[in-house]
Amino acid sequence: MSGREQKVFWEKLRWVASPILVLLVMPTTLYIFRIALSERLALSSCTLILLVITVIFSLGSRAIVSILLSVESTLFLNYYLTPPFHSFRVATSGDIVTLIVYIFASISVSGLINLIVTKQSEIENLMKRLENVKARSNQSPEASYLLGHWQIDFEKRTISSTLGESSHVHLTPIEWQLLEVLSRAEGGLVKQEQILKAVWGEKYEKETNYLRLYLSQLRKKLEASPKRPELLLTESGSGYRAIAHKVSARSE
């Protein structure tokens, strides 16, 4: 199973996991808690333990899951632990306060965990980019690339024609990154996911429309006939390749 397929699998599993958590795992845990501990503890202790259980099960979940788990815990508290027993209700102001505390605690902690995970992922991506920049800067000497009749210098970000024509090609920063990723493969196939991660980042692996748009712009600027490309080729369903190769090394 490829990395992309694994990610899709876990995304689907997450949608299944939430209802299982609310409908099966949480009630089972509360029932075990009632049998094992409730008779030995004061009501305030039970309330605190239920709060902890609710927050733990809510970690990393969406807000709706946290709310459902909080309602479930509050009803359980009243049904089993507050007289008259065996009555599903939220009847007093204290019940409402308990429910609000459960919901607020669950959503807050879950949101904090998600924020930490997101920031950690962003930091890891930033570190990878810095490492890539450092690795490229340590390469000596730097080579220029030939793409058709275009000689490309990625360090100076210049494109000149080897035909002696006076021409100026202006590329946007994204176009430069895209062209560099393809050119450095020297005619090798670069998969769509690799390009999207290298140019836009981890979160954009599936945004193939970005890739098609910017590649179309590049072809208009570099191909003699953009509709019949000879330099920037599409491998249907796989990725892209640039018919480029290193031509020289600059002295430092």
- Please tell me the predicted confidence (pLDDT) of residue 10: 54
Specify whether 123 is located in the same domain as 208. Answer: no
Average pLDDT over residues 119-147: 73
* pTM listed for this prediction: 0.46
Evaluate whether residue 35 is within a structural domain: yes
Q: Considering the chain, what percentage of its residues have pLDDT values greater than 70?
A: 83
Max mean pLDDT range (14-23, 71-80, 112-121, 176-185): 176-185
Residue 138 included in any domain: no
Q: Are residues 45 and 125 in the same domain?
A: yes
**At a CB cut-off of 8 Å and minimum separation 6, what does 241 contact?**
182, 185, 187, 188, 189, 190, 232, 233, 235
Average pLDDT (112-134) is 78
Provide the number of structural domains found in the chain. 2
> What pLDDT is attached to residue 170?
87
136 located within any domain: no
Q: Give the mean model confidence (pLDDT) for residues 114-128.
A: 80
Answer yes or no: do 155 and 237 share one domain. yes
The first and second tokens of residue 102, run together, are 């459960």
Whether residue 154 is found in the same domain as residue 91 = no
Domain that includes residue 173, residue range? 143-249
Give pLDDT, residue 252.
Answer: 40
Per the listing, tokens 């965990």 go with: 113
If asked whether residues 149 and 122 sit together in one domain, one would say: no
107 and 178 assigned to the same domain? no
Q: What is the CATH number of the domain that holds 189?
A: 1.10.10.10
Instruction: Decide if pLDDT at 142 tops 80.
Output: no
Last residue of a domain, one of 80, 99, 130: 130
Within-domain flag for 207: yes
Note the pLDDT of residue 250: 47
Q: Across the chain, what does the average pLDDT equal?
A: 81
Among 105, 130, 155, the domain-final residue is 130
- Are 44 and 50 a contacting pair, CB within 8 Å? no
Q: Out of 83-92, 94-103, 194-203, which region has the weakest mean confidence (pLDDT)?
A: 83-92
Q: Of 72, 105, 130, at which residue does a domain stop?
A: 130
